[in-house]
Amino acid sequence: MKKTKKILIANRGVIAIRALRAARELGYEVSSVYSTADKDQKHLKLSDDAICIGPASVKDSYLNEAAIISAAELGNCDAIYPGFGFLAENADFAEKCEKSGFKFVGPDVGVIASMGDKIKAKEIMQELNVPTVPGYDGEITTEEQIQDKVEKIGYPVIVKASAGGGGRGMRVVHKKDNLWDEIQSAKTEADFSFGSDKVFIEKFLLKPRHIEIQIFGDGKGNAVHLFSRDCSMQRKYQKIVEEAPAINVPIEKLEEIQKISVEACKSLKYKGAGTLEFLYEDGQFFFIEMNTRIQVEHTVTEMITGVDLVQSQLILALENEFKLNQNVLKINGHAMQCRINAENPKTFVPSPGQIKTVHRPGGYHVRFESQIYSGYKIPPDYDSLIAEIIVKDSNRERVLNKMKMALDETVIEGIDTNLDLHRRIMSDEGFRKSDHYIKYLEEKIL
């Protein structure tokens, strides 16, 4: 008898249970990994086996490549699902998985490596006719030299780490006097956080929206796009509310950028799920980066297209099947996601601890992606994302009402959360009219 295929979920939290469900629905077996701080997660009880990979510290557990690969061996797995964060965009890890005989559920190692280097990614995209943010990514030699370069771009500019991610380590420079010092501290920080002090400079756009295109490729030159998302409601460059499709952009502009994105992915022979992220200002799109993995906000795309992106990733990796067809993909309605974080509503400091009570929202096209349950203790060691509430309806106005209802129905007692902030966002007039941009939350709501 043929062995049932088995997947190792190399992650925790929201994406771990999401992947577990997708794998189970497809009939696969599942091994999970956990740190000692995470032994009470719900998905562990639903897995065929759960293997402890180390102590709470991420470097010793969820970033411990050898322990994860040993867990896949122990579990007799066929593939490793990285999710988002941790090792999801680590080319070295992807290579180790493949060399150890496990399918890495993601694109090829070379693509992960080049897209993980933001300077290289921008160069590749420019060659593929994707519009990028004007800037400078060459050598930084002297204070005068770089002042000269930035003068040409025009202030303000943003200094970014080439190996950066998670909205961290970016510095906005408004005038010449601070430029050199900011570059030096950006380099030190980049070296410390990302292991490379390579930085580059971009024009800092003042009121852009963050719009991204979901793509999916078969790894052989065929690819489709699954339309757009707007992720402009952010705090400190971190997304808080996401929706699909993008709003307030002329349809022909969206169609053009979708086409450019999909063509780029065909040229790259991109495999699996990926996202091209853009800033959109004054009718123009500017590429900022590509994520070579599933994203937190993939859910809103699933809601409007009816495509299960995680299942599609697993089917491609394990069965070598690519079932998506551009001519069949259609947008059906509008969808929105609120990221629920365990954090103090005023200071935004994480609020780990024991959850006393949870009441989940319900209703038609209301989705709650989470591991939490009454009595669950949120460890202090990880990201504060504890749940995603996703809703879909026929148009945006109904979505806003439905999300407000879902938020009002949700009760999480025992810890602080940002539920109230989301309620305020849903009632905000500017947001309801789609007038928001990436700094809107900080400038107009907080």
How many CB atoms are located within 10 Å of the residue 234 CB? Answer: 20
Binding-site size, ligand ADP (CB under 6 A): 20
Cα Rg, the chain, nearest whole Å: 21
Query: Among 101, 110, 166, 380, which residue sits at the site for ligand ADP (rule: CB under 6 A)?
Result: 166
- Express the helix, strand and coil content of the chain in percent, nearest 5 each: 35, 25, 35
Catalytic residue among 171, 209, 229, 293: 293
Closest distance to ligand ADP from the beta carbon of 19 (Å): 22
Closest distance to ligand ADP from the beta carbon of 329 (Å): 25
Q: Give 218 or 289: the residue with its C-beta nearer to ligand ADP.
A: 289
Q: Which stretch binds ligand ADP (CB under 6 A): 9-17, 137-145, 160-168, 252-260?
A: 160-168
Q: Does 54 bind ligand ADP (CB under 6 A)?
A: no
Q: Give 207 or 253: the residue with its C-beta nearer to ligand ADP.
A: 207
Closest distance to ligand ADP from the beta carbon of 223 (Å): 21
What is the pattern of x (binds ligand ADP, CB under 6 A) and - over residues 183-222? Answer: -------------------xxxx--x-x------------
Query: Among 110, 138, 167, 363, which residue sits at the site for ligand ADP (rule: CB under 6 A)?
Result: 167
Closest distance to ligand ADP from the beta carbon of 412 (Å): 27
Of 317, 265, 223, residue with least CA distance to 26: 317
What is the pattern of x (binds ligand ADP, CB under 6 A) and - over residues 78-117? Answer: ----------------------------------------
Cβ neighbourhood burial of 325 (10 Å; 0-12, 13-18, 19+)? exposed
Helical H segments across 32-117, by residue range: 42-45, 65-74, 91-99, 109-116
Distance (Å, rounded) from C-alpha 419 to C-alpha 339? 9
C-beta separation of 41 from 12 below 8 A? yes
Distance (Å, rounded) from C-alpha 232 to C-alpha 249? 13
DSSP per position, 213-280: EEEEEESSS-EEEEEEEEEEEEETTEEEEEEES--SS-HHHHHHHHHHHHHHHHHTT-EEEEEEEEEE
Closest distance to ligand ADP from the beta carbon of 234 (Å): 5
Query: Among 196, 237, 352, 398, which residue sits at the site for ligand ADP (rule: CB under 6 A)?
Result: 237
Active site residue 12: no
Q: Does 154 bind ligand ADP (CB under 6 A)?
A: no
Q: Give 277 or 409: the residue with its C-beta nearer to ligand ADP.
A: 277
Please report which helix (H) or strand (E) contains residue 359, including its range: strand 357-359
Q: Does 150 bind ligand ADP (CB under 6 A)?
A: no
C-beta separation of 195 from 206 below 8 A? no
Closest distance to ligand ADP from the beta carbon of 72 (Å): 28
Token representation of residue 422: 């989301």
Which residues are near ligand ADP by CB under 6 A? 133, 158, 164-168, 202-205, 208, 210, 234, 237, 277, 279, 288-289, 438
Question: Catalytic residue numbers?
Answer: 293
